[in-house]
Amino acid sequence: MNSKSFLIFLIFTTVVVIAAGISIASRYNATTSGFLEERVFEGFSKKFTNVDEIIVQDKDKTIKVKRSGKNWLMVGRSDYRASSEAVRNILVGVAELRLKEPKTERANLYSRLAVRDVSEPGAKSTLLTINDQKGDVLVTLIVGRETSEVAGAS
């Protein structure tokens, strides 16, 4: 290969590598998580020390976890000691919760999303309530069906 051919090949290769780098960089910059920036329960993380009770309820059962000093106990289950790490994961998960997209405001479609009131017959939703020491509600959240969209927003 003579020097002129080599120089043309080198310039062409450099241009292709730069174009590929720009293409890849712009693709990754354009990708978003699909979630809104604003947290659903803004400021909740500042109230962790006030949390006294977590209640998870569906149509069949209710599980209550209550703070007792530095421990968490499962009320109604012989005060079995709950995992502090699991409680912390719930609290952090709720504090970091962001909406992906609004689904519906029409109550007649709630059953399709499994977000009907847990007291209604046939409800498949789960109600999460977090209370403080005074019994005031800090968080109330109806959890519906899980999405099968593993890859996120397209």
Q: Are residues 70 and 124 in the same domain?
A: yes
| Owning domain of residue 132 | 44-143
Which of the four pLDDT bands, split at 50, 70 and 90, describes residue 154? very low
Comparing CA positions, the residue from 64, 82, 62 lying closest to residue 72 is: 82
- Render pLDDT for 117-131 as a digit per residue (tens, 0 to 9): 777 787 788 888 999
Q: Are residues 65 and 136 in the same domain?
A: yes
Residue 62 has pLDDT above 80, yes or no: yes
Is the overall model pTM greater than 0.85, yes or no?
no
Q: Are residues 80 and 8 in the same domain?
A: no
Number of domains in the chain: 2
Classify residue 76: in a domain, yes or no: yes
Classify residue 54: in a domain, yes or no: yes
Classify residue 125: in a domain, yes or no: yes
Q: Are residues 72 and 112 in the same domain?
A: yes
Which two structure tokens, joined as six digits, stand for 29? 């910059």
Q: Are residues 120 and 57 in the same domain?
A: yes
DSSP state of 60: S
d(CA 115, CA 29): 34
Residue 74 has pLDDT above 70, yes or no: yes
Rg (CA), the chain: 25
Q: What percent of the chain has pLDDT over 90?
A: 28
Classify residue 53: in a domain, yes or no: yes
Which of the four pLDDT bands, split at 50, 70 and 90, describes residue 139? very high
Question: Whats the size of the chain, residue-wise?
Answer: 154
CB atoms within 10 A of CB 125: 21
Classify residue 148: in a domain, yes or no: no
Q: Are residues 49 and 26 in the same domain?
A: no
Q: Are residues 137 and 87 in the same domain?
A: yes
